[in-house]
């Protein structure tokens, strides 16, 4: 390497190091599209004001929301004033512009002022979320924080989301959660810049939304006689013997819709059909094949053979239900499920077989396609569109349907190639009911393994998609099925911090993502979770064990930890060692290992036996 090249290399290394030191001040998740560090900081004091356009109600609402939170934690009483030129004050300026998208924003922080420019109120809201993350973590608290220096490092940020659909799902059928928790869930979505809440309201184990025309749906369908205890595959299975229920009134659901809208989150309701419908069939047996009065709200998990029978009376029922649902939820999309629908009852049902012949359908898959088409036509006639799980592809896809691809990416690719919009949510990357750490150290879960690093590595645009078809991928979401999440604290444990990883996948540019950088920023995110009383998983701090054979057939064990500042210590036969290189297993041994920060344990003490 010649001397000039060496000088350039040293200079670039120097500036890169300086940038990394400066960037350490900007612990933002998801990382913005463009961030230019600046020197200095904006300090809040008694002269600080917020300026906004009083002719824009949303701007005024957001301005008051911002100053209310500042006042709560700092005690500063910051006035909201009409935006005007040449005001001699330390101002935070909200301003709508016409040169950017609805969710994009520009944030400029100088020692004298903070300015937010956005194309719409949503952009201002997302800029506020970034501004909060530039402040001390106590901004997320709910009480006065003493001895905190309320300031923001100077910076220029230009930001916009990569995907239009950035979602989080919650199953409230298997386990029911309070209105207060749903609001907390939405608040957590907002700080991660997510914009779609997929609310799974009905299933075999409980119907959770009030339908005034059919009161038995909640009188009967919301209550199951008992609930499975322990793992589904246990033999014998055990049940708790306690009735379990709960549902949301229509007024409560409207309250959630309004609360979400204030955070620029759309609520998409899901009413499952034609499968996963035992709670509805138990309430109104005429909806089943053969008018089966023995069907009960399911007390177990899994897939059940009793499903909606595609008679005219069933469609009238579903249309009446969906009419009330549309009155509650203004979302463009209504999710109608469509997954895991066994055809056993249809095969033995004379009405179903006659309908197959009458419509000249190939088989029962064709009958399901007819079912989905008919529901889609009804919703389309009312200005709405359907989303369904990728099983709605079976037998032919409804003309205007959006496919939610969960059984991998093949369904999404097939739908996109046919010109249909797609939401990618493959089980391998987006199912937050899977284990995120060693199952022997984690609470009981449904199975599978999805560590946060695997979520972060996820790419929603499947490589096999043709260039012209990539535009049909609207985005992605995390799915939270609650068979093994009996309370809200367990939901939080399974969702966080994996949601932080997915939020960066969906918001930030693909080339911006860097696992090592992200895991450093995640340490600050954990402090925010503490302020918000979010029961996040600590699997990030646990040691992982990996083993492989060397060329001379010795077993070597590698230890690692996601925590970037942790040191790993391990014990063999009672002797303690600091981990610096792979461990050679030359005899049967038990290795105990744990991660430490500044000599203080941060992860669990884990043990593995090697032979």
* Mean per-residue pLDDT, 512-536: 97
Q: Answer whether residue 44 shows pLDDT above 70.
A: yes
Residue 423 near residue 404 (C-beta atoms within 8 A): yes
Residues of the chain with CATH 3.20.20.80: 165-539
215-260 pLDDT, tens per residue?
Answer: 999 999 999 999 999 999 999 999 999 999 999 999 999 999 999 9
- Confidence bin at 24 (pLDDT 50/70/90): low
The predicted structure's pLDDT at residue 398:
85
The predicted structure's pLDDT at residue 22:
44
Rounded CA gap, 522 and 415, in Å?
Answer: 35
Residues of the chain with CATH 2.60.40: 542-610
CA distances for 550 relative to 31, 553, 555, 581, 588, angstroms: 39, 5, 6, 14, 17
Q: SS3 letters for 130-181?
A: HHHHHCCHHHHCCCCCCCCCCEEEEEEEEECCCCCEEEEEEECCCCCCCHHH
The predicted structure's pLDDT at residue 529:
98
DSSP type of residue 263? T
Question: Does the annotation count 567 as an active-site position?
Answer: no
* CATH number of this structure's domain 27-159: 3.30.379.10
81-115 pLDDT, tens per residue?
Answer: 998 755 667 899 999 998 889 999 999 999 999 99
Task: Out of 175, 198, 276, 373, pick the active-site residue.
Answer: 276
CA distances for 471 relative to 194, 384, 419, angstroms: 19, 21, 9
Fold (topology level) of 542-610 = Immunoglobulin-like (2.60.40)
**Residue 567: Cβ-neighbour burial (10 angstroms; 0-12, 13-18, 19+):** middle
The predicted structure's pLDDT at residue 87:
63
Pairing of strands 606-610, 583-585: unpaired
Rounded CA gap, 415 and 398, in Å?
Answer: 11
* Mean per-residue pLDDT, 403-424: 96
To the nearest whole percent, how much of the chain has pLDDT over 90?
A: 91
The predicted structure's pLDDT at residue 86:
56
159-204 pLDDT, tens per residue?
Answer: 999 999 999 999 999 999 999 999 999 999 999 999 999 999 999 9
Question: Does the annotation count 438 as an active-site position?
Answer: no
Q: Answer whether residue 14 shows pLDDT above 80.
A: no
Question: Does the annotation count 203 as an active-site position?
Answer: yes
Write out the DSSP string of 434-463: EESS-GGGS---SEEE--HHHHHT--SS-T
The predicted structure's pLDDT at residue 15:
36
Angle among Cα 399, 401, 403 to the nearest 5 degrees reads 130
* CATH number of this structure's domain 165-539: 3.20.20.80
Q: Answer whether residue 301 shows pLDDT above 50.
A: yes
Checking 595-600 for CB contacts under 8 A at 24+ apart, the result is: 595/541, 595/542, 595/543, 595/561, 595/563, 595/566, 595/567, 595/568, 596/566, 596/567, 596/568, 596/569, 597/563, 597/565, 597/566, 597/567
Q: Answer whether residue 9 shows pLDDT above 60.
A: no
Q: Answer whether residue 10 shows pLDDT above 70.
A: no
Rounded CA gap, 477 and 413, in Å?
Answer: 16
Q: Answer whether residue 397 shows pLDDT above 90.
A: no
419-447 pLDDT, tens per residue?
Answer: 999 999 999 999 999 999 999 899 999 99
Look at residues 378, 392, 231, 381 and name the one whose alpha carbon lies nearest to residue 316: 378
The string over 412-427, giving b where at least 16 C-beta atoms fall within 10 Å of a residue's C-beta and e elsewhere, is bbbbbeeebbbbbbbe
Question: Between 161 and 8, where is the model more confident?
Answer: 161
């998208």: which residue's tokens?
101
The predicted structure's pLDDT at residue 109:
97
Question: Between 396 and 384, where is the model more confident?
Answer: 384
Q: Answer whether residue 17 shows pLDDT above 50.
A: no
Task: Out of 203, 270, 364, 483, pick the active-site residue.
Answer: 203
Residue 223 near residue 292 (C-beta atoms within 8 A): no
Dihedral pair phi/psi, residue 67, rounded to 5°: -70, -30
Residues of the chain with CATH 3.30.379.10: 27-159
Task: Out of 187, 324, 340, 442, pick the active-site residue.
Answer: 340
The predicted structure's pLDDT at residue 88:
65
Rounded CA gap, 443 and 277, in Å?
Answer: 29
CA 300 to chain centroid: 26
Q: In residues, how long is the chain?
A: 611
- Residue 14 neighbours by CB distance under 10 Å: 10
Mean pLDDT, the chain, as a whole number? 94
């Amino acid at each position: 390497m010649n001397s000039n090249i060496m000088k350039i290399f040293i200079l670039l290394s120097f500036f890169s190091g300086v940038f990394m030191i400066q960037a350490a001040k900007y612990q933002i998740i998801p990382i913005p599209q463009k961030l230019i560090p600046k020197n200095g900081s904006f300090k809040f004091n008694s002269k600080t004001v917020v300026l906004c356009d009083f002719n824009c109600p949303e701007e005024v609402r957001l301005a008051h929301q911002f100053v209310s939170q500042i006042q709560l934690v700092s005690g500063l009483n910051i006035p909201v004033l009409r935006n005007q030129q040449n005001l001699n004050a330390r101002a935070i300026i909200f301003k709508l512009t016409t040169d950017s998208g609805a969710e994009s924003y520009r944030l400029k922080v100088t020692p004298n002022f903070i300015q937010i420019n956005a194309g719409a109120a949503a952009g201002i809201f997302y800029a506020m979320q970034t501004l909060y993350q530039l402040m001390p973590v106590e901004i997320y608290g709910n009480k006065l924080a003493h001895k905190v220096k309320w300031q923001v490092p100077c910076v220029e940020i230009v930001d916009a989301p990569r995907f239009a659909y950035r979602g989080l799902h919650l199953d409230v059928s298997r386990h029911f959660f309070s209105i207060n928790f749903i609001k907390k869930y939405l608040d957590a979505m907002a700080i991660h810049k997510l914009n779609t809440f997929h609310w799974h309201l009905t299933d075999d184990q409980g119907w959770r939304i009030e339908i005034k025309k059919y009161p038995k749906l909640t009188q009967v369908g919301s209550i199951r006689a008992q609930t499975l205890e322990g793992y589904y595959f246990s033999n014998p299975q055990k049940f708790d013997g306690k009735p379990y229920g709960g549902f949301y009134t229509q007024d409560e659901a409207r309250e959630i819709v309004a609360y979400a809208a204030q955070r620029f989150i759309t609520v998409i309701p899901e009413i499952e059909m034609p499968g996963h419908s035992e709670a509805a069939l138990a309430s109104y047996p005429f909806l089943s094949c053969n008018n089966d009065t023995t069907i009960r709200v399911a007390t177990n998990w899994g897939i059940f053979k009793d499903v909606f029978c595609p008679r005219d009376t069933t469609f009238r029922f579903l249309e009446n239900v969906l009419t009330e649902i549309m009155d509650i939820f203004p979302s463009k999309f209504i999710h109608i499920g469509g997954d895991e629908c066994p055809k056993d009852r249809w095969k033995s049902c004379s009405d179903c077989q006659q309908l197959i012949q009458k419509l000249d359908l190939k088989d029962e898959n064709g009958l399901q396609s007819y079912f989905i088409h008919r529901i889609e036509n009804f919703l389309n006639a009312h200005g709405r569109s359907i989303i369904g799980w990728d099983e709605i592809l079976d037998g032919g896809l409804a003309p205007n349907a959006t496919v939610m691809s969960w059984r991998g990416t093949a369904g999404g690719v097939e739908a996109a190639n046919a010109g249909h919009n797609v939401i990618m949510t493959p089980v391998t990357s987006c199912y937050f009911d899977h284990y995120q750490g060693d199952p022997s150290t984690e609470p009981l879960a449904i199975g599978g393994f999805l560590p946060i690093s695997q979520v972060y590595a996820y790419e929603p645009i499947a490589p096999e998609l043709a260039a012209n078809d990539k535009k049909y991928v609207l985005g992605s979401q995390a799915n939270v099925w609650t068979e093994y999440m009996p309370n809200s604290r367990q939901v939080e444990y399974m969702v966080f911090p994996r949601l932080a990883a997915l939020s960066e996948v969906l918001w930030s540019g693909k080339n911006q993502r860097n696992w090592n950088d992200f895991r450093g920023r995640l340490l600050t995110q954990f402090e925010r979770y503490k302020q918000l009383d979010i029961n996040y998983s600590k699997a990030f701090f646990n040691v992982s064990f990996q083993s492989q054979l060397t060329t001379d057939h010795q077993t070597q064990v590698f230890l690692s930890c996601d925590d970037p500042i942790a040191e790993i210590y391990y014990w063999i036969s009672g002797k303690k060692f600091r981990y610096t290189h792979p461990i050679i297993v030359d005899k049967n041994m038990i290795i105990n290992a744990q991660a430490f920060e500044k000599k203080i344990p941060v992860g669990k003490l884990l043990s593995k036996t090697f032979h």
